[in-house]
Amino acid sequence: MTSAIRHAEAASRSTDTTGKGNGKGGRRIGHALAYLFLGAMIVAQLLPFWLALSAASKPSTDMSSTLVPRLHDIAWDNFTTAITQGGILTAVGNSVIVTVCSTVLVCICGAAAAYPLARRKTRGNKLVSAGIMSLMMVPPLSILVPLYTLMVNTGGVNTRWGIVLVTVAGNLPLAIFLYTAFIKAVPESIDEAGMIDGASRFMIFIRLILPLLKPVTATVVIMTSVGVWNEYALSNYLISDPGKQLIAPRVASFFAMQSSNLGVGAASALIAALPIVIVYLFLQRYFIAGIAAGAEK
Amino acid sequence: MTNKHNPAALNTGRRPLRGAGINLFYLPAILILIVFTVWPLLSGIQLSFTNWDGYSPTKAFVGLSNYLTMFKDHNFGTVLVNTLIYGVGSTAIQQVIGLGLALLLNSRIKGRNIMRAIIYLPALVSAVIMGTMYYFVFQYQQGALNTLMVSLGLPRVVWFDKPAVSVAIIVIINSLQYVGTSMIIYLAGLQGMDHSVIEAADLDGAHGWKKFRNITLPLLMPAFSTSVVLNLIGGLKLFDVIQVLTGGGPGYSTNSVSTYIGLTYFSNQNAGYASAMGVVLFVIIAIATTLLNKGLDRLGWES
């Protein structure tokens, strides 16, 4: 229907200005500008990585431009300093543990929560769904004061479980949304078949529904793990102990102390960026598909 | 035993799909969300009516005083304007560049996969780490921009000492970092298009700008609204890049509401005021998102 209408519209519009084209020259200039724009964007996106690599190659005595790396005498010391003094590897380890725990919890709680929300469409459950969705709009800093106070009172400051639970809460709404949309598309006849066989609700979910959730789980894992790995706004305040800090706050506080030593700061940023860049190189297709799926709300 | 295999008997006994017991599945998630998001949100509203300093056991009810302070606080005015600039500025830049990139990288251009990957790469890296890397563009002695200035025979510039310039730089960095997200949303929109419509347009001789304006653009409306809402929320709650690049300075001139909340709570020990600003920030984002969703829906209908 709509395609027929658009067809007609396009047809009527195409009659009024036909033959007025810009000619070949105009088109060629357009193409050249397009490629120029594309090239400029590629350079702009790679530039910070190039500059960081270049800065990391120089000792603090080398004041030359970060545009040109020091290839003849790379200052590997910068990387060892970032690891020994900056504790960057410790922070990477902390982030790995927290990211894995949060992601697993988000998948389990998210998938479980989505099952009744997708299957039992009562007014109450619709309200619960809407409430959870609206939590996606809560900015982390809006709840900083009460959350920090809660953590102080429960002994959750500077602990792993504290930041795990906070990041789980931050990432659950989107996960529940994605799982609910996916389960809604799974035919209810599958559940009914399980019921006829006398399986309990729990077993139906575990045995019949859960195995079908692999594709959406891939999306949830990507969105959550990237989100937790990069978390800064709350972990910056909730974990101040340098030995327990996550990677983003650690790089930020170490970088702030290295204003006179650009190379060490650059090295710490590069080490921190490396794990996610490597994972991205190998799983690039899943990442892009996952982000697109996650955005289609 | 025999009953178990009789569907009729089973359906009258218990009906798993319709029983309320199934709701137990969402208890763990709801519990976590209540404790770590809903309760802090409500508690924040309550704290916003007090003069609490953040650590002493006592606090007094001060009514709307914290909200009234915002009108008198010049810093809050600056910070609010900055937040709107960060939100609207980044959103606008990301739509223009993101859509442009999506259109170019949707064509059969050589190496488009690697180009998409490069454009998207910064969005995956923490804003803190991208911020430290972008610092090398603007650094005084060795930064790329000042190298360019010197080679052009111009004096070096201190890039982060003027508020307006600093705010603009933060907008540009935030836009560039997340422009890949917009591009991917638009690419998904372009690839999900009904090919018969596009073929029909081709048959009718619709080309170039006209085809784009009348066919492609209306079909991209869902992608547009998704991208705008995501970018706007991201920009309005901007925190990480500011913290790393300027720390809100010089003075309070580049703070967003988010970074100003952190300062007010931890440096100025004014937890009540910080809570009130948190409430205002949430309300701004909620209103912007709701209005935008409604407005964009209507726009989608008309075109």
pLDDT at B207 over 80: no
Residues with Cβ within 8 Å of A253's Cβ and at least 6 positions away in sequence, in order, are A242, A245
- Distance (Å, whole) CA A42 – CA B131: 18
Question: Cβ contacts of residue A143 below 8 Å, gap of 6+?
Answer: B37, B40, B41, B44, B278
Q: Give me the residues of B, 133-152, that contact A with CB < 8 A.
A: 133-137, 139, 141-144, 147
- With vertex at residue B61, the alpha carbon angle to CA B55 and CA B65, rounded to the nearest 5 degrees, is 100
- B196 with A3: Cβ contact below 8 A: yes
Give the pLDDT score at B101.
Answer: 95
Cβ neighbour number for residue A246 with a 10 Å cutoff? 29
Instruction: Give the domain extent around A209.
Output: 81-295
CATH label of the domain that carries residue A87: 1.10.3720.10
In this predicted structure, the answer to whether residue A15 has a pLDDT above a threshold of 50 is no
pLDDT at A119 over 80: yes
Over the stretch B90-119, which tens digit does the pLDDT of each residue have?
A: 999 999 999 999 999 988 888 888 899 999
Give the per-residue pLDDT at B18: 56
Instruction: Determine contact, residues B22/A119, Cβ cutoff 8 Å.
Output: yes
Judge contact between A114 and A103, C-beta under 8 A.
no
pLDDT surpassing 80 at residue B297: no
B129 interfaces chain A, CB cutoff of 8 Å: yes
Are the beta carbons of A288 and B116 separated by less than 8 Å? yes
d(CA A58, CA A62): 6
Lowest mean pLDDT among A122-136, B62-76, B200-214, B240-254: B200-214
pLDDT one-digit tens code per residue, A156-201: 999 999 999 999 999 999 999 999 999 999 998 888 888 888 888 8
Q: Is A230 close to B128, i.e. CB distance below 8 A?
A: yes
The C-alpha atoms of residue A147 and residue A156 are separated, in whole angstroms, by 10
In a domain, A65, yes or no: no
- Scanning every residue of chain B, which has its alpha carbon at the shortest distance from the alpha carbon of A141? B258
Q: CA-CA distance, A83 to A90, in Å (whole number)? A: 8
> How many CB atoms lie under 10 A from the CB of residue B158?
10
Among the partner residues B26, B33, B266, nearest to A116 by beta-carbon distance: B26
Sign of CA dihedral A207, A209, A212, A216: negative
Binned at pLDDT 50, 70 and 90, residue B13 comes out as very low
In whole angstroms, give the CA distance from residue A135 to residue B289. Answer: 12
Tokens at A258, concatenated: 């290295």
- In angstroms, the CA A32 to CA A77 distance is 44
Q: Which pLDDT value is given to residue A294?
A: 66
DSSP H helical ranges for chain A: 2-16, 23-56, 77-84, 88-119, 123-134, 144-154, 160-184, 189-196, 201-203, 214-229, 235-238, 247-257, 262-295
> Does residue A248 contact residue A232 with C-beta atoms inside 8 Å?
yes
Percentage of residues of chain A with pLDDT beyond 90: 53
Please indicate, yes or no, if residue A232 is contained in any of the structural domains.
Answer: yes
Instruction: In whole angstroms, give the CA distance from residue B86 to residue B288.
Output: 14
For residue A231, name the pLDDT band (cuts at 50, 70, 90).
very high
Structural domains present in chain B: 3-38 (no CATH), 65-302 (1.10.3720.10)
Q: Would you call A171 an interface residue with chain B, using a CB distance cutoff of 8 Å? A: no
Contact A37, B104 (CB under 8 A): yes
Does the distance separating the beta carbons of B25 and A113 come in below 8 Å? Answer: yes
Do the domain assignments include residue A24? no
Tell me the CB-side half-sphere exposure of residue B268, using CA atoms within 13 A. 15
pLDDT confidence tier of residue A296, bands split at 50, 70 and 90: low
| Cβ within 8 Å, pair A201-B22 | yes
Chain A residues within 8 A of B205 when measuring between CB atoms: 14, 18
Tell me the CA distances in angstroms from B226 to A175, A182, B11, B186, B205, one per residue in order. 17, 19, 42, 9, 31
Query: Does residue B287 belong to the interface with chain A, where contact is any CB pair within 8 Å?
Result: no
How far is the C-alpha of B282 from the C-alpha of B276, rounded, in Å? 10
Chain A touched by B118 (CB under 8 Å): yes
pLDDT in tens, B150-175: 999 999 899 998 999 999 999 999 99
Which one of B135, B188, B201 has the shortest CB-CB distance to A10? B201
Q: B13 touching A, CB under 8 A?
A: no
pLDDT at A224: 93
Q: For the residues of B139-150, what is the DSSP string, one character each?
A: -TTT-HHHHHHH
B81 pLDDT band, cuts 50/70/90, is very high
Q: Which residue has the higher pLDDT, B273 or A26?
A: B273
- Mean pLDDT (chain B) is 87
Residues 6+ apart with CB under 8 A from B218: A6, B303
If one counts the domains in chain A, the total is: 1
Q: How far is B197 from chain A (nearest CA, A)?
A: 6
pLDDT digits (tens, 9 = 90+) for B45-69: 999 999 998 888 888 899 899 999 9
Domain assignment present for A41: no
Length of chain B (residues):
303
Task: Tell me if A177 is assigned to some domain.
Answer: yes
Chain A positions in Cβ-Cβ contact with residue B247 (cut-off 8 Å): 256
pLDDT 10s digits, A37-79: 999 999 999 999 999 999 998 888 877 888 888 888 888 888 9
Tokens of B219: 């079909």
Task: Specify if A138 maps to a domain.
Answer: yes
Using the beta-carbon criterion (under 8 Å), do B128 and A229 form an inter-chain contact? no
When pLDDT is cut at 50, 70 and 90, the band that residue A14 belongs to is very low
In contact, A151 and A86? CB cutoff 8 Å: no
DSSP H helices, A135-261, are 144-154, 160-184, 189-196, 201-203, 214-229, 235-238, 247-257
Residue A193 is assigned to a structural domain of this protein: yes
pLDDT at A6: 44
Residue B50 bridge partners (DSSP): B61
- Domain membership of residue A63 (yes or no) is no
HSE (CB half, 13 Å, CA atoms) of A163? 31
